[in-house]
Structure 1
Amino acid sequence: MGLLLRLLVCVLLVMALPMARAAQVALVMSEDGSAFGEAADAISTELRNGGHRVQSLPYPLRAEDTPTLNNSALIVTLGTRAAQGIAALAPRAPVLYALLPRSAYERLPHRTDDGRRFSAVFIDQPATRQIELLRLALPDWSRLALLTGRDSTDLGNRLQAVARERKLRPVLAQVNDENELYPTLQRVLAEPTILLALPDSSLYNNRTISNILLTAYHQRSPVIGFSPAYVKAGALLALFSTPAQVGQQAGEAARLGLATGTLPPPAPPRQFRVSTNPYVARSLGIVLDEPGLLKERLERLEAGQ
C-alpha cells in the first residue's frame, strides 16, 4: 500500500507542474546545407513536440524578418555567421547559439551578467573527453602535438593542461601565419607524435589538410581529427558530434528555457561518435579498437563506471 501511495503522490506532482505555454521560436541558420538542415530538423522536432511553433529565417536577415524576431519568445541560431549577426542586433528575446565553436561564442559582442538570456551548445568536444580518448585508443603513446592559431589559443591551453594532468607530454606551438604551418609541423613531429587537429579554420582548412595529413604520415605520426571527413582523408580517428546530436541537445535546452524562463548554461555536446581508419592504423603499425568499443569505454569513463 505504501508503494501505491508514493506512486499516486508522484503522479499528482507531475500533474501539478505548470505546462509551458506555446511559444514562437525563430530559427536562424548561417547557410543552407545538409549539416545545418540536419540540426534544424532535430531542433524543430524537439520544439514542436513541446507544442511550440518554429519559424525558420534565412541569413543574412531581411528587413521583413524583423517582426518575426521581435515576436519570438526565443531565438536559436545555427553556425557562427548567424550567431554573429543576431548578437550584433542585440535582440530583446533570449538567444540560444548552437553549432558553433566555444571560441566563436566567447567572441560574440553581447556582454551581460544575465546568463539566463544567452546560452550555447558548442560543436567542439570538451578537452577532457578528447584527451581521455587518446589515452584509451593509443595507450602506448605519450607525445602530443597541439598547433594553435588565432581562433584556438584558449582551446590549446585547455588541452595542454588536461594532457599534463593525464601524464602525457604535450607540445604546444603557436602558428600565426599559414606560411609557418609546415615548418612548425615538421619541428613538432620530429619524432612520432600524436597530432590532435583543432577546429581552427586558419590552420585546418581545405587548402592545408591534405599536406598536413601527408606530412604527419611521413613522420609516422597519427592525426586525430574532429569530423568523419578527416578520417576519410587519412586521419587515424576522429571524435565528433553529428549536427543532429547537437540539434537535439539545443532543442532540449530551448524547451527548458521556454518552460522555466532560464536557459541552461553553455555546454559542449553531450552525445558523440568515434570514427576510425583501420587502413591508416595498419600502415602505422597501430592496433586500434573498434570505434563502437572506444565510444562505449569513453562513455563509461565519463559516467564514472
Structure 2
Amino acid sequence: MGRSLRNLLRATIFSFYLLGALPVWSATVGLLVDAQSKQISIFQQQLENLLPNDQLLLVTLDQLDTTNLKDAQKWVTLGPNALTALMAQEATSKTPVLSLFLSKDKQEALSKQYPSRFTILTNAPTIERQLALVKTMVPNANHIGVYCSTTYKVDEKRYDEIATSYGLTLHWAKLKDPLDWDRNALKILNNVDLVLGVDDDALYNTTTIRSILMRLYRSGKALIGPDKGYVRAGAVASVYSGISETLKAVANWVSTSTAGKQTLNNPYFNVSVNAQVARSLNIVVDDEASLAKQVKERLNEK
C-alpha cells in the first residue's frame, strides 16, 4: 500500500471520527422571550435537557429584527409580547409556533387576530381531570355544586355529560355578586357533597376567595379547584400543570408536532392537596403522587 493511499485512509477515518463526535441536530427550535433573565436561563437549560438532539436558539425581542427567522423549523414563544412580535413576521407564517403563558383574554384576542397561525398550550385544568379527582378523593360523592359569574361562558351541557359519565350530577348557580349569594345558591350549597371551582376570574380571584372559602368551610363543604393557587388559599385539592409539566409538553410538541390545532391542553399534570383542610373536613387523602396516579388511571379507563 502506497504512502499516499495510507494517508488518504487515515484522513477518511479521522473525518468519520470527527463527524461522529459532533452533535447532529434533528431540528432548530427558536425560543422567543421578552428579555434574558435568570428564570429564562433555567427554563432554556431544562428544555435543552429534554431535547438533547435539537438545537435551541434563544432570541430576545431586541434581537428579533437581526435574527434570520428561517433558521428555526419551529418556534416557542413565552408571553403575549413575544407571540405578537413573532406573528408580525411574515417569514414565520408557515412555521409551527407554540405559545406559552397567555392569559385567557390574550388567548382570545390573539387567536382572532392571527387565526390558525399558532398553537396555544393551556395549563388550565380540564373538567375531565377535576371530576376524576373528585371521584378519586370522595368516591361517595354524587352531587356537585358549580358556581360561576353571570358573565362566565361555559358549555353546561358538555360539563353535565362528562359528570354523568363519572356518576356525578352538577348543580349550577349563577352569581351576580360573588360576595352576596342568593337563595338558590345557598340552597344548592346545602344539598351538594362538595363544590367544584371553575376557571372564572370574575368569581374566583384574590379579592373574593377568602369570603367564598369561609362560606364553604362553615357549611362543611370542600372546594376542589380551580387551580393550585387556590389550594394554598384553602381549597382541598386541584389538578394543575406547572413549569415541569409545561417543559415536558413543549418537548413533546417539538418532537411530534407540525402545524396543528389552535389550543393544546397540557397532556401532563399533577395534583396538589391541602392536607390540613382535608383533615378538617374529614376527607382522607393519599399522598399527592399516589393521588395523581389514581386520577390518571381513572382517566385512562374512560
**TM-score scaled by structure 1?**
0.72
Aligned equivalents of 1:199, 1:29: Cα separation in 2: 27
Using a 3 Å threshold, how does the CA distance of structure 1 residues 165 and 304 change in structure 2: closer, same or farther? closer
**What secondary structure sits across from 1:125 in the alignment?**
coil
Corresponding residue for 2:181? Answer: 183
Corresponding residue for 2:211? Answer: 211
Corresponding residue for 1:68? Answer: 67
Corresponding residue for 2:50? Answer: 46
**What secondary structure sits across from 1:195 in the alignment?**
strand
Corresponding residue for 1:235? Answer: 235
**What secondary structure sits across from 1:267 in the alignment?**
strand
Q: Is 1:142 matched up with 2:142?
A: yes
CA contact (8 A) 2:32 2:75 kept: yes
Supply the AA of the counterpart residue of 1:282.
R
User: Which is bigger in relative contact order (C-alpha 8 A, separation at least 6)?
Assistant: 1
Q: Is 1:201 matched up with 2:201?
A: yes
Aligned equivalents of 2:41, 2:197: Cα separation in 1: 26
Aligned equivalents of 1:119, 1:284: Cα separation in 2: 41
Aligned equivalents of 1:157, 1:83: Cα separation in 2: 33
1:118-129 alignment to 2 at 5 Å? 118-129=118-129
Long gaps (5+) in structure 2: 1-23
**What secondary structure sits across from 1:96 in the alignment?**
strand
> When the two structures are aligned, how many residues end up with a matched partner?
271
CA contact (8 A) 2:178 2:208 kept: no
CA contact (8 A) 1:254 1:263 kept: no
Long gaps (5+) in structure 1: 1-18
CA contact (8 A) 1:145 1:171 kept: yes
**What secondary structure sits across from 1:23 in the alignment?**
strand
Q: Is 1:271 matched up with 2:273?
A: no
Shift of 1:236: 0.9
Aligned equivalents of 1:169, 1:230: Cα separation in 2: 23
Corresponding residue for 1:111? Answer: 115
Corresponding residue for 2:173? Answer: 173
**TM-score scaled by structure 2?**
0.73
Corresponding residue for 1:25? Answer: 30
Rg bigger for which structure?
2
Using a 3 Å threshold, how does the CA distance of structure 1 residues 21 and 288 change in structure 2: closer, same or farther? closer
Using a 3 Å threshold, how does the CA distance of structure 1 residues 82 and 156 change in structure 2: closer, same or farther? farther
CA contact (8 A) 1:144 1:170 kept: yes
Corresponding residue for 2:295? Answer: 298
Aligned equivalents of 1:229, 1:274: Cα separation in 2: 12
Question: Runs of 4 or more off by more than 6 Å in structure 1?
Answer: 30-33
Supply the AA of the counterpart residue of 2:264.
A
Corresponding residue for 1:98? Answer: 100
Shift of 1:50: 2.4
Aligned equivalents of 2:130, 2:65: Cα separation in 1: 40
Aligned equivalents of 2:100, 2:153: Cα separation in 1: 21
Shift of 1:280: 1.5
Shift of 1:245: 1.0
Aligned equivalents of 2:276, 2:136: Cα separation in 1: 19
Shift of 1:147: 2.7
Aligned equivalents of 1:245, 1:126: Cα separation in 2: 15
Aligned equivalents of 1:122, 1:197: Cα separation in 2: 17
**What secondary structure sits across from 1:154 in the alignment?**
coil
Corresponding residue for 2:11? Answer: none
Supply the AA of the counterpart residue of 2:67.
T
Using a 3 Å threshold, how does the CA distance of structure 1 residues 190 and 182 change in structure 2: closer, same or farther? farther
Using a 3 Å threshold, how does the CA distance of structure 1 residues 286 and 122 change in structure 2: closer, same or farther? same
CA contact (8 A) 1:249 1:269 kept: yes
